[in-house]
Chain A
């Protein structure tokens, strides 16, 4: 039913209402809205409590125990900071996972954003077929997170995969990229970079917002294309760059599917693709050491939170908000 179909009361003049009554009615209406607010919010509140808050506290508790799913939670032994001690001082695999994840985020995220910005700049011209290009570049972002694409990637970078067939045309003999400790992680990164379409679309929208007069004025002043890019495009685009950077960094830390499929769940060869989430999964669900995995999860949460806060605090120095969009 639309507004037009709604029952409308006859518009007779309302009798004058004493002030006290009016206030009473306002209070009643407020109470009614209070109640309605919580009625509508109740599923979310239940989820917040049961699916998010309580499990979070439970995992904090478990991180101080030796809990494994083979015993009831109540029988888990309190072992203090032992899990954390082991993680930081006695588990080389842990530090390996940290290093792999950090490398992945530090290299793949900037490259992905650079690819996204580069292609967005190429597309930022009135040109026929632009929508088709934009859509097709975006397609990998929709499909890329799936197991299916990771499987294809794995085969493509195999010893006898398509990449090596292509290289052999130039007389280059490739290797089994996914099975090589040096090249497995770059292969994984390439899969992430391949999905540059989503940030590209956001860049394109940002580029459309840059006032054309700025470029015209700069051209009149004799600024080269490169100077226009550095002094107009980049600063005007910085809020969008910032947005993409935050999103992609957080996303990058959590890569699981592709690492799992490319290494068949091991994070190999020799732990070279052992992303943090994969180590966490293996600790909890393969080694059944859920107390330890909970500790890993909490450190992960704190680190991601810290990085987000850091990104936001550096944003103040390089993100330029023009007046129209100032917060």
Chain B
């Protein structure tokens, strides 16, 4: 059942993979999201990896995931009949999101300035890579370039080896989700006076924002952080964050400050199992872990920390991810297994909350399981509203019922290459 939260609101989603998550969030909240695709299909349908490794317009895993619950129509923006249809749709829409190169929609006479007179309440968000004012405003960007431009890439990888990105690219997702928040803010503004506006999202800025304020470090402390593999840390506080265990990896941090209790509990556990060397437990634990513990460690502190990390590493090698996770929960340690897709799919916590949702994909004649509600709302539950649409699946519904076009007009528009 469609969520009541945004019921009655309509979004035109003209974006490709760069903006898809925006419309997905709106669809999960109950808005009617119409994906407007060129007659050959949105290019994001062709992005690998594919279901069962078989390419196909309905088989891209990212497409299936981030377009679930949307409707699809085909519309050719490159012809005047198509542009006329878009104007008619825009008159009936509350939101529009696009991720075209800057000025593309304007060049077609479909920019915000052209659409706003038709529908002053329209909220139009444009997802860009580098904004609209700098020398890079027309730059192309694949996801990896956003990761690089925003500073996340430089911090990921081993010293002496190339910096890397995640194997599920993240940059555009941050920008698309930012477009969703901004669109909601603009919508709230509209409730006061009925007027919409244009929103411009900057992906590069969205990535900088993920750096946990490391970005301010050079200005206040005079140096910038280098990537260091499984280690992390501000100046003087290098710490190991990932350890090998019997069947994979686990994340754990030995530190003071908010980590102090957890660190002591970890050492107690090692001691309990008879695996703690004498020096580690004598005289009240680690000296290097001052309560404020983030910075200012001396060489002796770091040497002690390193020796302790080695003890913890040896201990973890005797435990599986499951055993570690059980103890992390029981002993209230600050740690977590480095979970893979299988671990997550089987997680009893997610199961207890009924998180994953299965939807039927008609074109594939197959059930697909998706991440469920991003939050539990007591009055207006949200979550996936259905599977990703097939190309043009809702042409009749949208052009017929919504725009009121007759069967003959639709045939004509098809023949004209507009639909």
Same complex origin of A and B: no
